């Protein structure tokens, strides 16, 4: 079958570009290089016209021993990457590729790594493939034509699916941030004030990240930056558990992942502004939809500096549509939704009434 169907494959310039939603189950924010996927598929209609009603010799049929859960099939389509894809991260986690497929579809390319500094998926790796069933009845071959949609049509996640992924990730990571709530109010306030200053100083923030990475590995040196050292001292003064250090580390990574300018604005906003954001995030998690309240603090009003961020939380029904005209190269719409919500949740844990 593979010899006969090979000539019916479509490749090269006539192949549609496929989209695959790449996700990672992370304890921190990680990065991935750009990826271009292509689809190669069999012309099932032509193949069925050539082979249907073909008689199969009885001795050949006897060789095919399948139980009730097994089916005879061939690969009707595969999706592959045009160039190597690099993943980077800093902790133990699964890096996986997730997509929505129909009928018989399998995923490949999953790797579990520990303290991963780099994982590369080679060029021309099969990311996904779809199978087409073959029937043999009374010694006659039959490849049914059921107009099954191709992987290139099914592989793009809908806005609702993207939101479901995001809500799950947000809920999982929110638990990791919770130790911040156990700090004394004065310590939370000092951590927030120091974090604000760090977000304005790229070198100090990088030193803090390096120090926290070293702490995760069980050893660290005192950073040269006074701001970074102060942040670490606050954690030490509070006799931080590993869970608390991990929570602070996660929050720092989340804030750094936000688009330029937004971390400083969000971390310095007033308590009432942050409470509106928190209410919107809670609505997203519970109902899958957020709305701007009628009474808005000044930063969230029509010409306010945080209006755009708040409005973005209301656009979850259009996450899939945004991908074709998206201005942030390093964050997909779903990624931005996730880090924005987590930033709000993390800052809410540090924010105190004296900060208003």
Residue 280: closest CA among 263, 297, 261, 262: 297
Residues 115 and 150 in one domain: yes
Residues 96 and 194 in one domain: no
Cβ–Cβ under 8 Å, residues 131 and 73: yes
* Amino acid 19: pLDDT: 35
Q: What percentage of the chain has pLDDT greater than the value 70?
A: 71
Residues 67 and 215 in one domain: no
**Which residue range is the domain that position 53 belongs to?**
2-156
Residue 18, number of CB atoms within 10 A of its CB: 25
Cβ–Cβ under 8 Å, residues 41 and 109: no
Residues 8 and 68 in one domain: yes
Across-strand partners of 80? 38, 126
Query: Which among 123, 156, 189 is the end of a domain?
Result: 156
pLDDT digits (tens, 9 = 90+) for 192-203: 999 999 999 989
Helices 202-216 and 226-237: crossing angle, nearest 10°? Answer: 40
Residues 112 and 46 in one domain: yes
- Number of folded domains that form the chain: 2
| Least confident among 98-112, 125-139, 164-178, 291-305 | 98-112
- The two three-digit tokens of residue 85, written as one number: 């894809």
- The two three-digit tokens of residue 129, written as one number: 């493939």
Residues 69 and 147 in one domain: yes
Residues 175 and 104 in one domain: no
Query: Which among 136, 156, 176 is the end of a domain?
Result: 156
Residues 124 and 177 in one domain: no
> What is the mean predicted confidence (pLDDT) over 10-21?
34
Q: Record the pTM.
A: 0.59
* Rg over CA atoms, the chain: 26
pLDDT digits (tens, 9 = 90+) for 33-53: 556 777 787 877 777 777 777
> What is the mean predicted confidence (pLDDT) over 101-119?
41
Residues 132 and 208 in one domain: no
Left, alpha or beta for 278 (phi > 0: left; psi -120 to 50: alpha)? alpha
Confidence bin at 214 (pLDDT 50/70/90): confident
Distance in Å from the first CA to the final CA of the chain: 71
Residues 41 and 75 in one domain: yes
- Report the C-alpha gap between 11 and 95 in whole angstroms: 28
Residues 116 and 244 in one domain: no
Whole-number mean pLDDT of the chain?
75
Query: Which among 103, 130, 156 is the end of a domain?
Result: 156
Cβ–Cβ under 8 Å, residues 337 and 166: yes
> What is the mean predicted confidence (pLDDT) over 200-209?
90
- Report the C-alpha gap between 76 and 226 in whole angstroms: 60
Residues 183 and 326 in one domain: yes
Structure-model confidence comparison of residues 355 and 234, the more confident one: 234
- Report the C-alpha gap between 170 and 137 in whole angstroms: 51
pLDDT digits (tens, 9 = 90+) for 161-190: 888 888 998 999 999 999 999 999 999 999
- The two three-digit tokens of residue 229, written as one number: 């050292």
Residue 199: closest CA among 258, 269, 248, 256: 256
pLDDT tops 50 at residue 20? no
Across-strand partners of 40? 78
Q: Which helix (H) or strand (E) holds 42?
A: strand 37-42
- The two three-digit tokens of residue 211, written as one number: 């120090």
């Amino acid at each position: 079958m593979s010899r006969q169907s090979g000539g019916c494959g479509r490749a090269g310039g006539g192949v549609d570009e496929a989209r695959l939603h790449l996700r990672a189950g992370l304890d921190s924010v990680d990065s991935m290089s750009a990826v271009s996927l292509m689809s190669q598929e069999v012309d099932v209609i032509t193949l069925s016209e050539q082979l249907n009603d073909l008689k199969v010799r009885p001795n050949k049929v006897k060789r095919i021993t399948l139980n009730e859960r097994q089916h005879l099939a061939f690969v009707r389509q595969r999706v592959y990457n045009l160039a190597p894809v690099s993943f980077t991260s800093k902790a133990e986690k699964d890096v996986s590729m997730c997509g929505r497929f129909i009928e018989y579809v399998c995923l490949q390319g999953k790797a579990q790594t520990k303290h991963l500094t780099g994982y590369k998926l080679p060029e021309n790796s099969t990311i996904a493939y779809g199978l087409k069933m073959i029937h043999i009845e009374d010694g006659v071959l039959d490849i049914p034509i059921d107009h099954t949609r191709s992987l290139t049509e099914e592989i793009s996640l809908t806005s609702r699916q993207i939101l479901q992924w995001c809500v799950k990730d947000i809920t999982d990571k929110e638990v990791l941030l919770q130790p911040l709530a156990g700090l004394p109010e004065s310590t939370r306030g000092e951590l927030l004030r120091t974090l604000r200053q760090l977000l304005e100083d790229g070198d100090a923030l990088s030193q803090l990240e390096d120090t926290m990475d070293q702490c995760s590995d069980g050893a660290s040196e005192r950073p040269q930056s006074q701001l970074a050292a102060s942040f670490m001292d606050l954690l030490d003064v509070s006799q931080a558990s590993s869970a608390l250090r991990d929570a602070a580390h996660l929050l720092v990574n989340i804030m750094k992942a936000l688009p330029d300018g937004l971390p400083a604005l969000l971390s310095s906003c007033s308590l009432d502004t942050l409470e509106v954001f928190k209410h919107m995030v809670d609505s997203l998690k519970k109902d899958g939809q957020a709305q701007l309240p009628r009474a808005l603090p000044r930063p969230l009003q029509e010409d306010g500096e945080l209006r755009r961020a708040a409005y973005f939380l209301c656009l979850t029904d259009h996450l899939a549509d945004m991908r074709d005209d998206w201005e942030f190269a390093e964050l997909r719409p779903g990624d931005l939704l996730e880090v924005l919500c987590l930033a709000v949740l993390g800052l809410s844990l540090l924010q105190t009434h004296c900060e208003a």
